[in-house]
Amino acid sequence: MKTLEEAFRGSSQSTPYASAIKVNVCGVGPVISYKNAGGEKRQSTVIGFADNTMAVKGVLYDSAKLHLMKEGQTVMLLNVILKNDVGKSIVMTNRSKVLKTGPMEVPASLIQRGKDIACPPPAAEVNIKTVQTSPVKTLVTLRGQVVSEEIERSVRVNGEDTPVRTIKVKDASGSCGGTCLYNDEKSVSTTSRTNIEEVDTPVIHRRVSFIGFEWLEENLASLTADDANGEYEEFKISSEALAHYLECQLHEVESVLLCKLPLTAEITARENEIIEIKN
């Protein structure tokens, strides 16, 4: 029986392989749903395989065999397709066989490599300002606040109508759009493999320039800030906090504020609500 390295050494770009291959299941990725060229719904799963010579990506198109792919299990694969074009991979279809078999020794480094193939570790977390200078198609992790969103629309992806929503995400370093590209700005796109998690909004500390305000309620104002990117961000603040900052009485807040605008201040805020403001 050939090892993975030996099997791939003699294969061309896409080769049916009838002989048995013994591998360890290092990791199992999520089930991905899609439609084929005929519009039929299909599913696929990425499996990380390894033996004592190498780790390799497996793609399972027959979900009925998924229960045999348990992490740490050793299996025998028959009637698969070896792909050796852009990277090496083992394709398993409904004609393939997956058999349980006895254990095999696999180096821990190759098991980890196989696990990373199936379940890649999260991309490095970067601030949004870094995205503007990152190479196109770089995988990144962003943490920011959704500050605007557009109405959902439908686009054709692989011949299928797919709902798309464009959002703008902002952190302390800057902002960027998601899905669409406007005015040569860098944008980020999500796919079926993207994880979106709701996290606690961080407290920000910034120096901002306020150019105007409006009253939202009797005791709640909205201060509009102007930044270097030409964006106008709004921050809520209570009239009591404004009076304390301006060193005036509550009934004097508006008149004193009008005299001081535009003004620059250091703010501490969360979800665009000012917690503290000072010179």
Is the confidence at residue 197, as pLDDT, over 70?
no
> What is the identity of the amino acid at 128?
I
Contact indicator for 225, 212 with CB cutoff of 8 Å = no
Say which DSSP state 67 is in: G
Cβ contact 182:193 at 8 Å? no
Contact 18, 30 (CB under 8 A): no
The predicted pLDDT at position 181 comes to 36
What tens digit of pLDDT does each residue of 149-171 get? 777 777 766 666 677 777 777 77
**Statement: residue 127 has pLDDT above 90:** no
pLDDT, one tens digit per residue, over 64-104 is: 999 999 999 999 999 999 998 778 999 999 999 999 999 99
CB 128: neighbour CB atoms within 10 A?
20
The one-letter amino acid at 105: E
Predicted confidence (pLDDT) at residue 198 exceeds the cutoff of 80: no
- pLDDT, residue 186, reads 47
Q: Write the DSSP symbol of residue 247.
A: T
Helices 253-260 and 239-246, packing angle to 10 deg: 60
Q: What are the tokens at 216?
A: 């939202």
- Please state, rounded to an integer, the average pLDDT across all residues of the chain: 83
Candidate from 6-10, 45-49, 145-149 with smallest mean pLDDT: 145-149
Judge contact between 263 and 278, C-beta under 8 A.
no
Residue-range domains of the chain with CATH = 4-118 (2.40.50.140), 128-188 (no CATH), 204-278 (2.40.50.140)
